[in-house]
Structure 1
Amino acid sequence: MVTNANGSVNGSARSWARGPRRDAAPAAAEPAGSATACPVAGTLAALRAGLDPGELSQYVRAFVEQLLDAGVENEVERDGYLTQLLGAMQQHGYPRLRKADLRDMFARAARDRQSATGTQTQDSVGPAAGSWGAFAEPPPVAAGVVPPAGWHVSEDGVFQVGGGAGGGRGGEPLLVCPVPVVITGRLIDAEGGQESIALAWPRDGRWKPKVVGRAVVANKSKIVDLAADGFPVTCETSGKVVRYLADFEAENIDRIPRETVSPALGWVDDTRSFLWGVEQLRPALAESGAAVVLFQGAEAGDEQVARGFHAHGEWEDWRTGVLPFLELPKIRLILTASLAAPLLGVLGVPNPIVELCGETSGGKTVALRGATSCWGNPDERAQDAAMSTWDTTRVGAERMLAVINNLPLVLDDTRRARDSTLVNQIVYDVVAGRGRTRGSPKGLQGVGTWSTVLLSSGEVSVNDQNEKGGARARVVSLWGSPFGAVTGETGERVKALNRTVLAHYGHAGPRFVRFILDRRGEWPTWKERLEAVVREYTQRAGNNAILNRMADTFAVFALAGELAAEALEIPALARRPVDELWGELSGEVREGDVPTRALRCAYDWAVSRPKNFFSPCRHESDREQPHDGWAGRWDATTSGWAFLAYMPHKLAKVLEEGGFDSGATVRSWKDKGWLQTAPAGTHQQHRVEGAQVRLVTILRTALDLLGMTVPSGGGLCQRPDAAGGATTPSGSRDGM
């Protein structure tokens, strides 16, 4: 209850008087003999008698107390006396105090009395400094939060009635904001510790919330940008608004609610809980110690991404609709890959990529929607969707990766990408698990990191977009329709699945995460199980380097299926799809080995242009040098040959035109033992038309080992070895 000066009782914790009159003028000094004249007269007499600074402070404090004793609490009337006192001090040559200091002294004294008595007094003209005015709908602040000293907040706005420069002209209340503004919360970043402020103000009949960085509300230039959100600030008022918000926070620092937030989804609080959209998934046991953490996006787009991860429809309807399709190994693989996303960080597995490749109308988009439906809205056309397309930018994809950490990134149709370079860049960013380092005017910007699974679709493989680098070892390519042969019956089944996942989604993923959280004590055992499965696939891969590097990807998919089968009570998920698809996957990997593909590129180019290579076994009449020079040396004969040697610059051009990194490729060939080289380096000297030159020399044994078609004569030589002098890796009769 709040007792007013007239003795009435107000049923609200706030005063319901209207705000201070904006046209009020300072009151004139009371005539001698009035209730409040004595303090002024006594102080003036003391001034004339002479006071030292210490005594002056005591008289001023006594003057403030006596004004309160006399019932002077209206700021307009109070400022009249303060102005009179300051004028007298200046007239008699005393150091002039600031009116702001006197106002603060008065406000503190008034609050001390209010705290001691539990009452709040005010008259019919306006409230005391640091008070609430009338509100039809009270501000959304926590209990005990009050306006700061020197400020009055009501439906009419925010008024400065003390502190700082202090009020308006002549001491009247100064309107700073035309509507009330309050701080409703303080938000602390869970990782970096940066602070944000939650504001609220009336807009279009409701209190509008807005979270902004603390640096924004502390800077009169930056805070003006909030005007775009309807915040009541202009260039003229920004300084006062910053001062008000700073005072508001300082006054209520222990009463404003403090919350921990994260700008990214996924694991938070040292993996003790998981942010799935705007919901925090926590262990079932209360003693887990998981702190409350909320999602707070850095931009509106981040919030939009998070809203895509939510539940709709019924769990049992989703389960019943998806179950028949788990007999298909490609559907089962992409579903378990989607569910594996939160396990990657827990088990320390690098980020994998699963892609569906092939012609259109094969059900690739519906399969991706099925995988996405584990976590949220799979309709990539919706505003709040958990699935997107390749129609993005590298920065946009990087920002999305940083937000959906520990959840799958699903991008449909590589044809929608701007170009193949963008696809290649995003693939590398996913595999790297870390964004680009960027500078700012003050130093380096923060770098986003992520642990995720990229699920993609396209008519061609992402590996075919660019041949450079080693991301290929993280890409699992599934060619053809994931639903098998495309028939009329298959088409109807695909449509049925599509209808199911668009109506029922967002159930399986959260259930799986809760299962993981509730079994935190079993995580070490899971890691041991993962290592055992990795060894199985490594042994099965044999000498295939790419398959060996993919062993941990295959293993985490297998483990995710086993765990999900138990968590979701769907036994079919425990069947390893990789085992059923091993022949297809290993075949794709062999063809996808970058050094092997590059070697075939170089060999095919030579086979198609045999006369571009110098060969001493060819007849002189058939040994005309091409206009752009010899490509190298190839001593093929009717009975065979030992090597294919390229001029370094010519090989570099052939490889670069094929989309390969020539330097990295040649070094890989040397490491694999496919080249004949000098003791140091990647070249070997050969004689070409009488001159010794350094060439990149590819051994025939490497081509034989890889099963490439090798012509016996290749049309290069018309004479047998005795006439042409075939060379060997260790030397040649013409001075290799």
Structure 2
Amino acid sequence: MKQDATRQPLIIDQRSLEEGKTYPILHFLLKHEGLYMNDKDKETGKVTAVKISEPMFVKETVQNLDTKDVYVKLCYRYKGKFHEIDIGMGQLIPSELIKLSGKGLDVSHENHRHIAKFLGEQQKLAPHREVYREVGWHEEEDGSLVFRHHHVLAKEAKPNATHDTKGGFFNLEPKGSLDVWKRMIEEEVKGNTPLEMMVCAGFSSVLVGYLSRFYDEVDTLLIHLAGESTKGKTTAALLAVSVMGMPSNKKKGLQKTWNGTSNAIINMMSGNYGIPIVLDELSMSDAKSLTSELYVLAAGQEKSRLNDEMKQRKQGTWATTALSTGEQSIFERTNQNVGLTVRAFEFFEIPWTSSAENADAIRKVIRNHYGHAGIAFVQYLFESGLHIIDKTWEKWQTVCRETLPDSPFRTRIAKKYAILLAAGDIANQSLSLSLDLESILSFLVEQEKERMIARDNGAKAFNYVTQLFVQHQNNFRREGNIVSPANCWGKMFFHRDHVEVAFLKHILEQKLREGGFEDPKVVIRSWKEKGWLVTEGDRATKRTKIFENYEQEERKKALGTANVPKKLQDTTYNIKIPLETLKGFISEQPHPLEMDETARSWYGF
């Protein structure tokens, strides 16, 4: 029996069976008493219904649109009580079906083929539904773009596929009222620029997911809120995600935590092209370094791996807005690579909520009213035409480039800030939120000015090395001093306005790596461009005499080699540290004869 595509599904349920209804399918009869098969006597032709098992049937079939896998919900009676289990379609064949006897199915060796035949035919008539786990923007087989929320949002009506809440990672079912949520924005958020920015961040996930499909430079927008626990960080992050779904860490809400392996977090992100998520409490991550994880998270593509058959496994991809919270700066858990500071935005010690009452009022509303704003936002995009995203983004890119301070990264930063502002712009159009975009832009610009300093890797490295020198100044010889330290790193020379500190080349490179600066040559090049080095010609190094002729054993130890150059000069990096920077930190004053007139005056001689 083939299922007619236009035929209504045959709905079988436990109650109808208990009320005495019989379902004839082929030569089988499904009754409350059990599953029967019509058996025809070959001699007499008499047909007798023979019970072959306790009642069982396929309640529904479900197909995952992403994997194409099909499973069935099998309902059966055991010990007088009905139970339900989900099994793969492949488990309905006789050899697999009999294995389910361990679950209480009444499947015997004598009848397992008949039962498999019945279930195989009956499932064709059972109700069918389609689900998906990948959320956000998705390209259909006809090439059209749809947005997968709790159901499919599209320009034209689509088949009634729904989000697989049970098998997926997110609960996207909207709850409550859009009007109540908007009233909370008006009463508790308006006028608080940082919170208004976070509302923009919630909507921005939709734009990030869309733009990433057409622009290579658009990847996941990673925003970290750092500072004390009383600043309202988590409340702000939950407000942002309430735009699209359940702002909670329970029942598959959009609030996740850093407490998990990097693979688990990446797996959760895979296939997400437009739903914002929160990674709460950075301190819960036990990873010593988050450098690799943050690069992968922002790039939106997991590392290539092999499957059990040693074949290349399909790589998960994503592009959305990820909000992180923690008392600690996220960059303290990474190396000093400037690339991360362009990929991830950090807001430190911002008072997100104005008071405890303000935070409570926001949480009280978003706990029961969420998801509707995002749906209205996406529907507006389809009604206006998706080109509105590109157009609005381009407009705000121009504004950001003209407003942001000049830096090598201004264009890249402008593209990311423009997504936040474009999201707020469209939210204002679609929901009449009246977010103050000019104030939000000013807030972002001020934050960028602070980050520019932190983003200067050369300056950060110079500060690090200066502190290192102060802490370990006894490891350096002083010009004119015959005393040689046991563990010599180099030599210091006092000048009119600075101390020239000559680090042995391998020592400085080693210390920079230990400080998280993976490529010392990049740091050294920056110092040379800034004029912070004493060099010879075009080289970044200098030849400096550290050891005397009679100190060759000490020299070998310091250089870490048994063979030292015949000339007494060694290759060094000579950095210039201003005297003002070191005032009060040099533990022992040099002898006055070692200094020039200005330096002697500075020390009080």
- Matched to 2:486, the amino acid is H
Counterpart position of 1:482: 351
Counterpart position of 1:647: 505
> 1:404 Cα deviation (Å)?
4.4
Equivalent in 399, 422, 428 of residue 295 of structure 2: 428
Say yes or no: does 1:282 pair with 2:176: no
Equivalent in 307, 328, 331 of residue 440 of structure 1: 307
Deviation per CA, 1:96-149: give whole Å up to 9, x if none.
Answer: xxxxxxxxxxxxxxx99xxxxxxxxxxxxxxxxxxx99986269xxxxx98577
Once residues 192 and 38 of structure 2 are traced to their aligned partners in structure 1, the CA distance between those partners, rounded to angstroms, is 73
SS in 2 for 1:566: helix
Counterpart position of 2:490: 632
Taking the TM superposition and a 5 Å limit, the aligned residue runs for 1:503-582 are 503-523=368-388, 526-572=389-435, 574-575=437-438, 577-582=440-445
Say yes or no: does 1:268 pair with 2:138: yes
Q: Where in structure 2 are there 5+ consecutive unaligned residues? A: 3-10, 40-47, 213-217, 548-566, 598-605
Taking the TM superposition and a 5 Å limit, the aligned residue runs for 1:50-199 are 137=16, 147=25, 153-157=30-34, 175=52, 178-182=54-58, 184-185=60-61, 187=63, 189-190=65-66, 192=67, 194-199=68-73
Change in Cα spacing, 1:390 to 1:174, as seen in structure 2 (3 Å) is same
Contact 1:160 1:174 in 2 (8 A): yes
Contact 2:209 2:319 in 1 (8 A): yes
Counterpart position of 2:8: none
Contact 2:193 2:436 in 1 (8 A): no
Once residues 277 and 329 of structure 2 are traced to their aligned partners in structure 1, the CA distance between those partners, rounded to angstroms, is 17
Change in Cα spacing, 1:557 to 1:655, as seen in structure 2 (3 Å) is same
SS in 2 for 1:418: coil
> 1:606 Cα deviation (Å)?
1.8
Counterpart position of 1:472: 341
Change in Cα spacing, 1:504 to 1:289, as seen in structure 2 (3 Å) is closer
- Matched to 1:137, the amino acid is S
> 1:358 Cα deviation (Å)?
1.4
Counterpart position of 2:557: none
Change in Cα spacing, 1:342 to 1:320, as seen in structure 2 (3 Å) is same
- Matched to 2:208, the amino acid is L
Counterpart position of 1:346: 210
Counterpart position of 2:270: 402
Change in Cα spacing, 1:209 to 1:694, as seen in structure 2 (3 Å) is farther
SS in 1 for 2:73: strand
Taking the TM superposition and a 5 Å limit, the aligned residue runs for 1:225-374 are 230=103, 232=105, 245=116, 248-249=119-120, 260-270=130-140, 272-277=145-150, 279-283=151-155, 288=156, 290-296=158-164, 300=166, 302-303=167-168, 305-307=169-171, 309-324=172-187, 325-348=189-212, 349-374=218-243
Deviation per CA, 1:149-168: give whole Å up to 9, x if none.
Answer: 7x665445557889xxxxxx
> 1:364 Cα deviation (Å)?
1.8
Once residues 382 and 451 of structure 2 are traced to their aligned partners in structure 1, the CA distance between those partners, rounded to angstroms, is 36
TM-score normalised over the length of structure 1: 0.63
TM-score normalised over the length of structure 2: 0.75
Once residues 175 and 12 of structure 2 are traced to their aligned partners in structure 1, the CA distance between those partners, rounded to angstroms, is 44
Contact 1:561 1:576 in 2 (8 A): no
- Matched to 2:381, the amino acid is I
Say yes or no: does 1:608 pair with 2:471: yes
Change in Cα spacing, 1:295 to 1:314, as seen in structure 2 (3 Å) is closer
Once residues 500 and 259 of structure 1 are traced to their aligned partners in structure 2, the CA distance between those partners, rounded to angstroms, is 33
Change in Cα spacing, 1:694 to 1:200, as seen in structure 2 (3 Å) is same
Counterpart position of 2:244: 375
> 1:620 Cα deviation (Å)?
3.5
Contact 2:220 2:300 in 1 (8 A): yes
> 1:257 Cα deviation (Å)?
6.3
SS in 2 for 1:583: helix
> 1:337 Cα deviation (Å)?
0.7
SS in 2 for 1:333: helix
Question: Which structure has the bigger radius of gyration?
Answer: 1
Identical pairs, percent: 16
Contact 2:204 2:419 in 1 (8 A): yes
Deviation per CA, 1:351-410: give whole Å up to 9, x if none.
Answer: 122222211222222222222221222233x33422233333323322221264411111
Superposed CA RMSD in Å reads 4.4
Which structure carries more relative contact order (alpha carbon 8 Å, separation 6+)?
2
Once residues 210 and 240 of structure 2 are traced to their aligned partners in structure 1, the CA distance between those partners, rounded to angstroms, is 21
Change in Cα spacing, 1:480 to 1:669, as seen in structure 2 (3 Å) is same
Contact 2:90 2:96 in 1 (8 A): no
> 1:548 Cα deviation (Å)?
4.5
Change in Cα spacing, 1:134 to 1:209, as seen in structure 2 (3 Å) is closer
Q: Where in structure 1 are there 5+ consecutive unaligned residues? A: 1-110, 113-131, 140-144, 163-170, 724-736
Deviation per CA, 1:667-690: give whole Å up to 9, x if none.
Answer: 354367547889999866554435
Once residues 530 and 312 of structure 1 are traced to their aligned partners in structure 2, the CA distance between those partners, rounded to angstroms, is 30
Once residues 98 and 274 of structure 2 are traced to their aligned partners in structure 1, the CA distance between those partners, rounded to angstroms, is 34
Once residues 252 and 187 of structure 1 are traced to their aligned partners in structure 2, the CA distance between those partners, rounded to angstroms, is 13
- Matched to 2:297, the amino acid is V
> 1:259 Cα deviation (Å)?
5.2
> 1:220 Cα deviation (Å)?
4.7
Deviation per CA, 1:588-645: give whole Å up to 9, x if none.
Answer: 3422444432332123212333342356xx11424x1x323x3235444235466754
Once residues 602 and 716 of structure 1 are traced to their aligned partners in structure 2, the CA distance between those partners, rounded to angstroms, is 21
Once residues 262 and 210 of structure 2 are traced to their aligned partners in structure 1, the CA distance between those partners, rounded to angstroms, is 27
Contact 1:473 1:547 in 2 (8 A): no
Once residues 111 and 546 of structure 2 are traced to their aligned partners in structure 1, the CA distance between those partners, rounded to angstroms, is 84
Contact 2:193 2:443 in 1 (8 A): yes
How many pairs were matched up?
542
- Matched to 1:200, the amino acid is L
Once residues 668 and 336 of structure 1 are traced to their aligned partners in structure 2, the CA distance between those partners, rounded to angstroms, is 36
- Matched to 1:358, the amino acid is G
Once residues 326 and 106 of structure 2 are traced to their aligned partners in structure 1, the CA distance between those partners, rounded to angstroms, is 49
